[in-house]
C-alpha cells in the first residue's frame, strides 16, 4: 500500500490507497484511536478505539467499486433519503468521488481537536441532469482525543438562477454489535415513527427500550439529541449526539432480507445495527447563498460507565 504524509500540521492524517486502489484517508489520534475515510462516497469505513477494536460494521462482501455504495461504515444519504423522491435510492452523494477540501471556510469547532479531514462534493455537468442544482457539500470528519468520531456536514446552495432547493439527509451508520438479540436502544421509546415495512404508516412506539427479534426499518421522528445503543454482551454503549438531524432511522434487515442483499453476508445482520441520524420528515430547504450545518458525534463507552454512576437515562439526559 502506497502511503504519504499530508500537510505537516496534521501529521496523523494520511492519504493512502485502500481496497481496489481507491483513495483513503487514515486519521490517527495521539492516543491510538483511528478512523478511515474513502473519497469514494466521503464514506467512513472504519472507526477504532485506542485498543484497536473496530466500532463500525463493514461487510466482508462490500464491493468498493464506484458507483456501487460501500456496504457498512457510514454511507451518506443526500439529497434524498431512501426512495422518498425521484432520485436513486439514498441519493447520489454516497456514489460520488469526493475531494479533499484544502481551504474550507472557517468552522467554529473544538480547537483541541487536531485530527480531522475536510472533504467537499460539488456537482459536475452530468450531475445537473440528475439534480439540477448547484451546491457545495463540505464534510469535516474529526477524531477527538477521547476517541469520539465527529462528522460535521455543511451544505450550501450555490444556485446562480435564484432557485431554492430541498433535500433529505441521513448518516446511514452501521454500528458493530456483538449479537443483535443482546442490544437495545434507549432514547426512542414513546416516539412516533414511520414504519417502512408497513407502507410508511405512522405509529407510536409503545414499548420500553427498543430491542430486536425481527426485521426493523423505522424512521423515528423528532428524536432527542442523544440516543444510546447498549450492547450487553460487549458491555459497550454507543452514544449518538446530534444537531440539526431531528429524525433517527433504525434498520436491521434480519435473516430473510439479509440473504437478498448481495453484498451482505447471510448472518451479518446479527453483528450490525444501523441507527441513522437524519433529517427526513421535514426536508431542509435552502435559498441561494444559504447554508445548512449539522453535526453527529459518536462515542463508545464501557457499559459499566452507563449502568453505575452514569446509567443510560443519565447518559441521555446529562
**Whether the bond into 46 is cis, omega within 30 of 0:** no
Looking only at residues 186 through 225 of this chain, which bind ligand TA6 when binding is defined by CB under 6 A? 196, 217
Using CB under 6 A as the criterion, what x/- string covers residues 242-281 for binding ligand TA6? Answer: -------x-x----------------------x-x-----
The region of 10-18, 82-90, 159-167, 204-212 touching ligand TA6 under the rule CB under 6 A is 82-90
Q: How far is the CB of 91 from ligand TA6 (least distance, A)?
A: 10
List residues with catalytic annotation: 172, 276
> Pairing relation of β-strands 236-243 and 291-293?
unpaired
Q: How far is the CB of 263 from ligand TA6 (least distance, A)?
A: 8
84 makes contact with ligand TA6 (CB under 6 A)? no
Neighbours of 40 (CB within 10 A): 25
Using CB under 6 A as the criterion, what x/- string covers residues 295-314 for binding ligand TA6? Answer: --------------------
How far is the C-alpha of 42 from the C-alpha of 267, rounded, in Å?
A: 27
Q: How far is the CB of 274 from ligand TA6 (least distance, A)?
A: 6
227 makes contact with ligand TA6 (CB under 6 A)? no
How far is the C-alpha of 182 from the C-alpha of 194, rounded, in Å?
A: 24
Which residue in the shown chain puts its C-beta closest to ligand TA6? 251
How far is the C-alpha of 184 from the C-alpha of 208, rounded, in Å?
A: 10
First to last CA, the chain: 44
89 makes contact with ligand TA6 (CB under 6 A)? yes
Q: How far is the CB of 279 from ligand TA6 (least distance, A)?
A: 13
How far is the C-alpha of 15 from the C-alpha of 4, rounded, in Å?
A: 6
Choice between 90 and 156, CB closer to ligand TA6:
90
Which grid cell is 284? 431542509
Among 33, 82, 168, 173, binds ligand TA6 (CB under 6 A): 82
Q: How far is the CB of 157 from ligand TA6 (least distance, A)?
A: 25
Contact 70, 62 (CB under 8 A): yes
Q: Which residues have CB under 8 Å from 122's CB, separation 6+?
A: 99, 134, 135, 136, 137
Among 92, 58, 96, 98, residue whose Cα is nearest residue 74: 58
Binding-site ranges for ligand TA6 (CB under 6 A): 69, 82, 89-90, 172, 196, 217, 249, 251, 274, 276
Amino acid at each position: 500500500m502506497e502511503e504519504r504524509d499530508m500537510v505537516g500540521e496534521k501529521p496523523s492524517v494520511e492519504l493512502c490507497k485502500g481496497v481496489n486502489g481507491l483513495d483513503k484517508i487514515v486519521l490517527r489520534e495521539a492516543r491510538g484511536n483511528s478512523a478511515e475515510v474513502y473519497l469514494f462516497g466521503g464514506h467512513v469505513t472504519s472507526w477504532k478505539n485506542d485498543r484497536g477494536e473496530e466500532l463500525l460494521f463493514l461487510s466482508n462482501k462490500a464491493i468498493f467499486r464506484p458507483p456501487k455504495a460501500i456496504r457498512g461504515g457510514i454511507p451518506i444519504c443526500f439529497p434524498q433519503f431512501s426512495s422518498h423522491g425521484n432520485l436513486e435510492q439514498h441519493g447520489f452523494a454516497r456514489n460520488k468521488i469526493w475531494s479533499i477540501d484544502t481551504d474550507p471556510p472557517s468552522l467554529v469547532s473544538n480547537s483541541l481537536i487536531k485530527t480531522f479531514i475536510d472533504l467537499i462534493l460539488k456537482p459536475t455537468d452530468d450531475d445537473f441532469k440528475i439534480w439540477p442544482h448547484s451546491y457545495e457539500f463540505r464534510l469535516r470528519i474529526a477524531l477527538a482525543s477521547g476517541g469520539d468520531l465527529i462528522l460535521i456536514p455543511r451544505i450550501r446552495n450555490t444556485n446562480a438562477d435564484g432557485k431554492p432547493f430541498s433535500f433529505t439527509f441521513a448518516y446511514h451508520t452501521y454500528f458493530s454489535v456483538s449479537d443483535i438479540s443482546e442490544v437495545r436502544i434507549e432514547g426512542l421509546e414513546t416516539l412516533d415513527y414511520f414504519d417502512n415495512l408497513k407502507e410508511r404508516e405512522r405509529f407510536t412506539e409503545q414499548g420500553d427500550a427498543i430491542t430486536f427479534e425481527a426485521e426493523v426499518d423505522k424512521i423515528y421522528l423528532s428524536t432527542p439529541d442523544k440516543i444510546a445503543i447498549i450492547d450487553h454482551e460487549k458491555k459497550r454503549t454507543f452514544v449518538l449526539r446530534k444537531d440539526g438531524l431531528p429524525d433517527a432511522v433504525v434498520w436491521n434487515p434480519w435473516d430473510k432480507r439479509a440473504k437478498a442483499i448481495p453484498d451482505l453476508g447471510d448472518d451479518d445482520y446479527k453483528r450490525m445495527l444501523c441507527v441513522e441520524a437524519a433529517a427526513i420528515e421535514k426536508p431542509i430547504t435552502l435559498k441561494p447563498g444559504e447554508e445548512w450545518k449539522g453535526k453527529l458525534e459518536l462515542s463508545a463507552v464501557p457499559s459499566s460507565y452507563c449502568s453505575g454512576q452514569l446509567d443510560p437515562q443519565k447518559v441521555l439526559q446529562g
